[in-house]
Amino acid sequence: MIDIHCHILPGIDDGAQTESDSIAMAYAAVEQGIHTIIATPHHMNGKYENKKQEILTHVNVLNSLLQSKQIPLTILPGQEVRMNGEMIDELETEVILPLNHTNYVFVEFPSGHVPRYAKQMLFDIQVAGYTPVIVHPERNREIVEHPSRLYEFVHKGALTQITAGSLTGHFGKNIQKFSHELVEANLTHFIASDAHNTTTRGFLMQDAYMELKNEHGVEARYMFMENTQLLVEGRMVNRDEPSMIKKKKFLGIF
């Protein structure tokens, strides 16, 4: 199993704080059946910058540590980029780090809304030769209330990644229900842990894939798992034609 979104690098954002934390997360990942993780520290999210070259150094250090402890887990480089107006410049100057040096780039919206320039920025990212992957859209208030926004982005070429804990109900029943609706409408393409620790924000990947299989069938489970491999290899992922979700507003989901 591959986890494409995880805050396992120590001491650089709100994920693992120490090397011991990272090791504990690594053991937990292996217990889940995960053999490869893309480390995705925050970039341009509040106080965190975590530029490309710094992340590459941290990934090399952690891989060496895991090897010394004979933990069968490989860390690949990535970044979770909060959408901002400098993204194209930062892609060109290699401040932004695409996932495992592919053309896939994580894009994070603020939790409460979608930036007004999001449509243009997602388009510009694609024109620059990259594929934007919108992370945890099921946890964005505006998208939950107006899922047509997400449909527009996916219809125009963006991909999305939902959180394992969202699918299992860790973030509440409303977000769980909406996550299943995104799967059903072909509005999401990856499941990842977004793990920050081993307690409150763990991996939950086995449970999520079981939930996916139970609700959407074996083929859906296989497709989502295959997509993570295709992403890591920089290949074209599986995607079906998206459909619209008609929603009423959810009150008090956060």
Per residue in 149-200, pLDDT (tens digit) is: 999 999 999 999 999 999 999 999 999 999 999 999 999 999 999 999 999 9
CB atoms within 10 A of CB 245: 18
Q: Shortest CA distance to 205 belongs to which of 22, 12, 36?
A: 36
Q: Is the pLDDT of residue 9 over 70?
A: yes
Average pLDDT over residues 30-47: 94
pLDDT band at residue 46 under the 50/70/90 scheme:
confident
At 248 the pLDDT is 55
Tokens of 78: 């990535």
pTM above 0.75, yes or no: yes
pLDDT band at residue 219 under the 50/70/90 scheme:
very high
Helix, strand and coil in the chain, % to nearest 5:
45, 15, 40
At 45 the pLDDT is 78
Separation of alpha carbons 88 and 94, rounded Å: 10
At 130 the pLDDT is 98
Average pLDDT over residues 58-79: 98
Strands 2-6 and 42-43: unpaired
Domain boundaries, the chain: 2-232
Q: Distance between terminal CA atoms of the chain?
A: 30
At 246 the pLDDT is 75
Q: Is the pLDDT of residue 247 over 90?
A: no
Has domain 2-232 been given CATH number 2.40.10.10?
A: no
pLDDT band at residue 249 under the 50/70/90 scheme:
low
pLDDT band at residue 254 under the 50/70/90 scheme:
very low
Q: Which helix (H) or strand (E) holds 80?
A: strand 80-82
Q: Shortest CA distance to 6 belongs to which of 112, 157, 136?
A: 136
Percent of the chain with pLDDT over 70: 97
Contact between 47 and 54 (Cβ < 8 Å)? no
CB atoms within 10 A of CB 81: 26
The arrangement of strands across the sheet holding 104-108 comes to 42-43, 80-82, 104-108, 131-135, 159-163, 190-192
Average pLDDT over residues 114-135: 98
At 122 the pLDDT is 98
Alpha helices in the chain (DSSP H): 19-31, 52-68, 87-92, 118-127, 141-145, 148-155, 164-168, 173-184, 205-216, 218-232
Contact between 242 and 187 (Cβ < 8 Å)? yes
Q: Is the dihedral of CA 223, 118, 111, 11 positive or negative?
A: positive
pLDDT band at residue 228 under the 50/70/90 scheme:
very high
Average pLDDT over residues 129-148: 97
pLDDT band at residue 47 under the 50/70/90 scheme:
confident
